[in-house]
Amino acid sequence: MEVTAPHELPFAFWPGNNELENELENREGELKIERIDTCVEENGTQHHTDKFEMMGTPRGNGMPSQLVVRRGQEFLLKFHCNRPINPEVDAVSLVLAVDSIRGEYICHGHGTVVFMTLQSDDGVTEEDQDMDWTATLQASQTLENGLTEITVAIKTSPNASVSRWHMIVNVKSKGFDEVRYSLGQTFYLLFNPWCPEDPVFLDDENQRQEYVLEDMTMIWKGSARNFNSYKWKLGQYEENVLDCSLWLLGDVARVSATYRGNPVKVCRALSGVVNSNDNYGVLLGNWSGDYRGGTAPSAWTGSVKILQKFYQQKELDPVDRNPILYGQCFAFAGVLGTLCRALGIPCRIVTNFTSAHDTEGSMTIDKYVDEEGNNKKEFSGDSVWNFHVWNEVWLKRHDLDSEMYDGWQVIDGTPQESSDGIYKLGPAPVLAIKNGRVNMLYDCDFVFSEVNADSVVWRYRGPGKSLELVRMNTTEIGRFISTKAVGVDEREDITKNYKCGEQSTEEKQTMLRALKLGKSCLTKHYLKLARGKDQSNAKNDDVKFELQLNDYARFGESFTVLLLIRNISDDQVHSIKGRINLDHIVYTGKHIKSIASHPFSITIEPNGEEVIQVPIVFDDYYEPGMDEAIFKVSSFAAVEGTDHGYYSQKDYSLRKPTVHLQLASDPILRSSLKITAAFRNPLPVPITDGLFHIECSGLCKSLSIPADPIDARGNCEVVFMIIPSAEGTTQITAKFISQELSDVVGSLTFEVSLPNENNSLNEVLYFS
């Protein structure tokens, strides 16, 4: 606590100052505050903030504890005074003011400076109870050291600025000068999902535990044919993470203190600040496959290192700050999830498989091929990602004209398209997306296309010739939309939240509504030629095609692409020409290299069948440093003498091994625990310079463990030790990366029990 002279605080306030009364003798002497106890443990429990690093007693970095509380809810302070408060001669008031960022203007009129008179419980009127801010004397007792402990309950506004706040206590006793006591340390005021008056209120305790308090989550990657999950450490409680979140919001995103209590503005700003496309954000996106000078996006295991490293530059001029290298959609979503949960906004991470990137706002994904089936890339910038990861936040949309759009909102930090001139997205109400209300704030049109665009393939026959509609698929986009289930390490499918049933009457009406509201110049052309017509690919159904892939092939093995062609006619011979292409791609659909291009020309007798095989061996697709084993298989065929054109395109990925984690003993609180991480090298080549990255809930520092060289098809094993710091459920994740093989992951969840007389505490060894 600091004692501050009156002239040092221009916003100081003193109610009821009367010079005549001040001349009276105060026989009890001047009221003095010797110490202010912020009741860290009690407030931490009541406000669900006890896990924050700055609430530690003591803190790991040796700094004084700082109070973290949630708005709209009372928190306690205890004043240790030289004597009890006498309302006849003493008056106590409190001044709370936002900690100004960049010298921003704060004042009472903007709600960033608040004055409160300390009142007793019996002195609080009904009008006082309705006030957003109050300070109430709850109890008073004499301590053994002779001091008087006065318990004060401070109620904050449910719409207060989410910021660091200063607190000054003004004390005036009759016959003495006013003295002002500073809390010394700023305290943190967060959003409050437990407060019904807060726009982020979430009326489900299990969901609050998952979407606000849980510091580990799961992210799904892969393709609609073959997807898997891995753990991501959000780490919102770790050192500097909350400070970094507020700094990013106020200093980097430039959201003023007045609006830092508005979750719509906060979420929209945060979605823009996690990427560096506008020259000021956290992560630089990189989908090139060349990650020299930085960290490959797939190597990140959590948000903490990313945010702590960027926060180290807070004292630099903005033009001198460098983004963290590198990020992709899952890393952007992971960091954004950390920022939201740190500030108290319920947030979850969502993966959409077969996710559309509509660059033209047409609600269609248009692909053009020539007569040989080759892609005409210059005709359209649209693409389909194997998967895309974004976030949902839970909040009320007071800025809209209907309460029906309260609830889950999409925000996205991945820099795909700009919104209002900045690479940010949302919040977009999920229900508005489902209903095709693409004109709703913010960016509902883009998200609608991601989950529900029509996929259209046109054949270009040359200048002056009309385009031929080769394929129209209204069900391909937006599949298996996934998030972590509440309380368990399982996938929850939330596709129904975003889309009506495929090919249902409701879905068709929704698409037509979206096309009409979108008003793209391409919409009328598409509606005229395609929408509402028979959506079957077949113009002559004598010949059937089926592209077949082995979904269980593993990275390091050979595999074969099969195209089954059947002539179901009883009397017609058919000649067919076509081609099968296999390309190595990034999950965004970006082409890396061509692996195979296999032309074919066959004749099939009536009721005959032919199989076109394209064998792919390891050396065909493998190259050191390839981050992902994702391929695009496309096949095109024309049936001579008919207008029947066949086109099929499938994303395909090879399975990678799993890191297996095993405990050597029962996990005991504050006792060293040995863990083994192991996997088998699936490659026919050795692995050198491999590295394990380990993240653990409750463990402040992540571990990096080098692995010995691994023989071709050989086994790898490392042993490391941690000390569980909290009782209950603990989650740990391991990721192996190397030049030859990367993104090999595994996780383990276990229960930590309290020590007993048979347990002894051991020294911690972080790895061996």
CA angle (511 as vertex; 505, 514 as ends), nearest 5: 140
8 Å CB contact between 272 and 342: no
Helices of type H across 85-240: 126-129, 205-208
How many of the other CB atoms lie within 10 Å of CB of 238?
28
User: Tokens in use for 679?
Assistant: 């996997």
Single out the catalytic residue among 90, 358, 412, 454.
Answer: 412
- What single-letter amino acid sits at 413? G
What one-character DSSP code corresponds to residue 710?
B
Distance, in Å, from the CA atom of 181 to the CA atom of 359, rounded to the nearest integer, reads 58
User: Tokens in use for 720?
Assistant: 């490391």
Distance of CA 516 to the CA centre of its chain: 32
Distance, in Å, from the CA atom of 573 to the CA atom of 197, rounded to the nearest integer, reads 73
Give SS3 for 378.
Answer: helix
Distance, in Å, from the CA atom of 543 to the CA atom of 566, rounded to the nearest integer, reads 6
- What single-letter amino acid sits at 556? G
Give SS3 for 186.
Answer: coil
Give SS3 for 66.
Answer: coil
**Residue in 114, 121, 117 with CA at minimum distance from that of residue 172:** 117
Find out whether the peptide bond into 326 is cis, omega within 30 degrees of 0: yes
User: Tokens in use for 615?
Assistant: 């064998």
Range 466-476 burial, b when 16+ CB lie within 10 A, else e: eeebbbbebeb
What one-character DSSP code corresponds to residue 740?
S
Look up 388 and say whether it is catalytic.
yes
Distance, in Å, from the CA atom of 198 to the CA atom of 160, rounded to the nearest integer, reads 9
Single out the catalytic residue among 166, 388, 584, 693.
Answer: 388
Distance, in Å, from the CA atom of 355 to the CA atom of 478, rounded to the nearest integer, reads 5
Distance, in Å, from the CA atom of 5 to the CA atom of 175, rounded to the nearest integer, reads 17
**Residue in 385, 389, 383 with CA at minimum distance from that of residue 360:** 383
8 Å CB contact between 335 and 283: yes
How many of the other CB atoms lie within 10 Å of CB of 377?
11
Burial of 51 (0-12, 13-18, 19+ CB in 10 A): middle
- What single-letter amino acid sits at 276? S
8 Å CB contact between 150 and 135: no
For residue 208, which phi and psi values (nearest 5 degrees)?
A: -65, -40
**Residue in 411, 281, 435 with CA at minimum distance from that of residue 333:** 411
Look up 7 and say whether it is catalytic.
no
Distance, in Å, from the CA atom of 338 to the CA atom of 241, rounded to the nearest integer, reads 8
For residue 172, how many C-alpha atoms fall within 13 Å in the half-sphere facing its CB? 20
Instruction: Name, in order, each residue with C-beta under 8 angstroms of 321's C-beta and a sequence gap of 6 or more.
Output: 280, 310, 313
8 Å CB contact between 95 and 168: yes
Find out whether the peptide bond into 442 is cis, omega within 30 degrees of 0: yes
8 Å CB contact between 493 and 353: no
342: β partners: none
Give SS3 for 211.
Answer: helix
For residue 448, which phi and psi values (nearest 5 degrees)?
A: -60, -45
Burial of 641 (0-12, 13-18, 19+ CB in 10 A): exposed
Q: Is 426 left (phi over 0), alpha (psi -120 to 50) or beta?
A: left
The catalytic residues are 388, 412
